[in-house]
Amino acid sequence: MPPSTSVTAPSGPPDWAALRTKISLLLPGDSGYESAKRVFNPAFDGLKPAAIAKCARPEDVQAAVEAAARRVPIAARSGGHSYAGYSVPDGGLMIDLGEMSSVDVRGEQVVIGAGAKLKDVYAKLGGAGRCLPAGSCPSVGIAGLTLGGGIGVLARKYGLTCDHLVSAQVVTADGKLRTASAESEPDLFWALRGGGGGNFGVVTSFTFRTDPSPSVVSVFSLHFPAGSANEVLAEWQRWLPEAPPELWANVVLSGGSAVGARISGCYVGDSASLAKVLDKLTGKVGGTRTVKQLDYLGAMKYFSGSESRQSFVASSRILGEPADPAKLTSILNGRRGMDLLVDGLGGAVADVAPDATAFWHRKAIGSVQIYSQADTRNRSAATDSVAEVVTGIGLSGGYVNYIDPALPDWMTAYYGDNATRLKQVAKTYDPDKVFGFAQAVTPA
């Protein structure tokens, strides 16, 4: 049965002392509190949860939710990569899932704790000869990635991360532990596949189907001379949709006095097969190429970025159809430290109907991340600059895993026509907004 709405809201703050007798709990001033609340982006270091629940079991999560529900904001933290810092509820309860990080390969499936990071998932799967399409940043948590859809470098071949989800264990607003799957709580299961992290409940573990890991993955990078960004983007937009699903590629446009362009990606197959695909692009735009033939785990390590904390401001749009290259490149003139990263979609991503899961952008060419370096001295200016680009590039939509508090009409941007059903799921499973935050999916 779905959660029921309480008639009378509880009064007063949570009894932290009582909760502390049940689970590991950190309060401000406790040893370990400052490090426990720290997330990837230092911009959110000033946020101060009233308490941090260090959960090692689903029962710990249940106890935390029951103690704090409708008294203070509640947010779960897996990898701590929320672009808006939403996993650090100021004055609320942070549910830290870091100790629930097991990766258990069971034949063709894998059961992953919600606190696991991608570097650990890849290492365990690679050692077992299995693969799961996911993101590239090694310190990103499996939870937030999956719940937002899960775009990654193998998406065109294998689909999104959420497309491989078989079931999830979820603590809902009433404190109950539920199994969401195609057979059990199917509406909740639908919503968890792309409906965004932080909504509907706290997932404690995921069961995914996996694929045999490819024996060979060829990675590549293409570099182009200054002044060719328009031509490179125009050809990339034509080339990628026609490429085989074994190929994934992005194009990165870098702002400055002269807008730069580079393309990188991978191919599930050998370098000779990749060369034939690349020739169709470079035959028109030139450029120099670097190619390496790796195994699955080596390819995932190749794309892994830095695990060091980074201060940045970012947003996103969706490339639903070919854009005017000049519009995208001209707005980057003079914006040093800003990149537009266009990650390719299509292939297996598009084989799933837009309403089959909560991830709406199935038919898009790619996602566009607007990313600007920022520190405490220039964060306000960087935020304004990102907002100008979001408006100026003339695209719509958005990817919820690049969540942006300033994104116009964000509910429609992230979820398209799936927004109405998501609101109904929220009404069923979180009618009192227990897991509410600034961009939460709220009841219809």
**Per-residue pLDDT, 3:** 66
End-to-end CA distance of the chain: 19
- Sequence length of the chain is 444
Strand ranges inside 17-98, DSSP E: 24-26, 51-54, 74-77, 93-96
Asked whether 198 and 75 are in contact (CB, 8 A), the reply is: yes
Mean model confidence pLDDT for the chain: 96
Nearest to 24 by CA among 50, 68, 63, 71: 63
Nearest to 306 by CA among 140, 192, 165: 140
| Dihedral sign computed on CA atoms, order 118, 120, 122, 128 | negative
Q: Give the DSSP per-residue string, 336-401.
A: TTEEEEEEE--GGGTTS-TTTSS---TT-SEEEEEEEE--TTTHHHHHHHHHHHHHHT--B---GG
pLDDT digits (tens, 9 = 90+) for 383-420: 999 999 999 999 999 999 999 999 999 999 999 999 99
pLDDT digits (tens, 9 = 90+) for 49-91: 999 999 999 999 999 999 999 999 999 999 999 999 999 999 9
CA 427 – CA 74 distance, rounded (Å): 17
pLDDT > 90? residue 334: yes
CA 218 – CA 276 distance, rounded (Å): 12
Coil, strand or helix: which one is 347? helix
CA distances (Å), 291 to each of 15, 220, 221, 295, 413, in order?
58, 4, 7, 13, 36
Residue 7's pLDDT band (cuts 50, 70, 90): low
pTM of the model as a whole: 0.96
List the domains of the chain with CATH numbers.
16-96 (3.30.43.10), 103-213+417-429 (3.30.465.10), 217-415 (3.40.462.20)
Nearest to 169 by CA among 125, 115, 106: 115
pLDDT > 60? residue 358: yes
| Dihedral sign computed on CA atoms, order 179, 183, 187, 191 | positive
**Per-residue pLDDT, 6:** 55
Residue found by looking up tokens 């249940």 in the block: 62
Asked whether 64 and 93 are in contact (CB, 8 A), the reply is: yes
pLDDT digits (tens, 9 = 90+) for 105-147: 999 999 999 999 999 999 999 999 999 999 999 999 999 999 9
CA 430 – CA 434 distance, rounded (Å): 6
Asked whether 109 and 205 are in contact (CB, 8 A), the reply is: no
Residue 226's pLDDT band (cuts 50, 70, 90): confident
DSSP structure class, residue 153:
T
Give the CA angle between residues 250, 41, 62 to the nearest 5°.
105
pLDDT > 90? residue 207: yes
CA distances (Å), 23 to each of 38, 56, 58, 76, 149, in order?
20, 9, 11, 15, 31
Residue 180's pLDDT band (cuts 50, 70, 90): very high
Strand ranges inside 49-108, DSSP E: 51-54, 74-77, 93-96, 103-106
pLDDT digits (tens, 9 = 90+) for 287-298: 999 999 999 999
